[in-house]
Amino acid sequence: MNTNEKKKIAILGSTGSIGTQALQVIEEHPDLYEAYVLTANNRVELLIEQARRFMPEAVVIANEKKYEILREALADLPIKVYAGDDALCQIVREKPVSMVLTAMVGFAGLKPTISAIEAGKSIALANKETLVVAGELINRLANDRHVDIIPVDSEHSAIFQCLAGEISPIEKIILTASGGPFRTFTREQLAAVTKAQALKHPNWTMGAKITIDSASMMNKGFEVIEAKWLFGVEPEQIQVVVHPQSIVHSAVQFADGAVKAQLGVPDMRVPIQYAFSYPLRLHSSFERLDLFKTSTLTFEEPDTERFHNLALAYEALRKGGNMPCIVNAANEVVNRAFLDDRIGFLQMSDVIAATMQKATFIKEPTYEDYLQTDAEARRIAGGFVGEY
Ligand code: NAD
Ligand code: MG
């Protein structure tokens, strides 16, 4: 194949867990994919190494203080070097870019994702916070621009794969959850868990923020919201099922009662590759599922008494408006505070619930409203954290 036909991918957050696995996928298919843009927030050394290896057209470091280091290290190569948030939003609009993988973490993903959609780029969406915060706005924009949003999150990729070839509506989504490292803990035990324990996920190796969100089940709450916007279902149609082995990545039930599930060993490179290759499937060297080795698959009901975040996410989804944005902002604050040993595990939910009560509710938020809501909710949550 001629190099001009390669799919040129911009990776927002190439130094992270998703970003580095996406580069492995690109390395598996150098004839099909090209890392056209690589970006990072802080990890300039890894970004330099990636740039030398993948020779992208451009690199962006969000943290402007690291710009000089990056520029000097790549001075001998024909790679454009930029810094700052605005550069992130600009670079995704570059004409040759055909797909943007949003693999950065948190609310910071919203603006560049909007920019990429406005420029008509396909989105491989890992940054679920974007849909949690502004799902309605993102869907509207994507519809206007006829842009595909292809999920990378393993559960949503599974659902998306189950829907391939279907034209009938979804009756129910079965969203699986590993339950995280504290699945069997009592509330008393949860009160005393440390960040070191929370950072040890049983089945997945991921960035710190999502690992804490998985331990607190906020990640699953966010995935419920993400599913609503990706698949157009109501909260009542999304059932969370705890499945500790993480083999069934999720399932869809249809009107005739038939249930389709997607299975596989936990490996994010599979959904990343599918997002790149959809609607095709490509050969991969990744580990195959051996059902004899797995032998037992179990399923449990989630406990929202112990994992209150899941209930809070459903509440936010039902309330709508800017409420999920409030929850996301408060969660980013408590997640950071827990990682900094400033609050305990159970206090995370308490602060989020209190912030939901106090922040200004807006029924039909605009983009500007989301920015203000994010700032206000962070201020409020920060205040509650300070009281502990
Ligand atoms: P990570 O912390 O490992 O990596 C985050 C990446 O984003 C890094 O490259 C970092 O430099 C960049 N980044 C962070 N803040 C930024 C900012 N303000 N501006 C620009 N760049 C910034 O995170 P991750 O685990 O790879 O997760 C990335 C996203 O994918 C998250 O939204 C997460 O919820 C989602 N996700 C991750 C996994 C997983 O297995 N890791 C699975 C499903 C969904
Ligand atoms: Mg997931």
Mean pLDDT computed over 267-273: 98
Cis peptide, bond prior to residue 324, ω within 30 of zero: no
pLDDT at 347: 98
pLDDT at 267: 98
Tell how strand 122-125 and strand 149-151 pair up: parallel
Closest residue CA from atom 36 of ligand 1? 126
Query: Which of 91, 175, 210 gets mutated to test ligand 1 (max ligand atoms within 8 A of its CB)?
Result: 210
CA 16 to CA 35: how far, in whole Å? 15
Of 25, 95, 30, the residue nearest 276 (C-alpha): 25
CA 11 to CA 33: how far, in whole Å? 12
169-221 per-position pLDDT tens digit: 999 999 999 999 999 999 999 999 999 999 998 898 999 999 999 999 999 99
Measured CA distances, 385 to 85, 254, 325, 342, 388 (Å): 28, 44, 18, 8, 6
> Ligand 2 centroid to 77 CA: how many Å?
37
Is residue 161 in contact with ligand 1, taking CB distance under 6 Å?
Answer: no
Closest residue CA from atom 2 of ligand 1? 207
Structure-block tokens of residue 53:
């290896």
7-41 per-position pLDDT tens digit: 999 999 999 999 999 999 999 999 999 999 999 99
CA 41 to CA 256: how far, in whole Å? 48
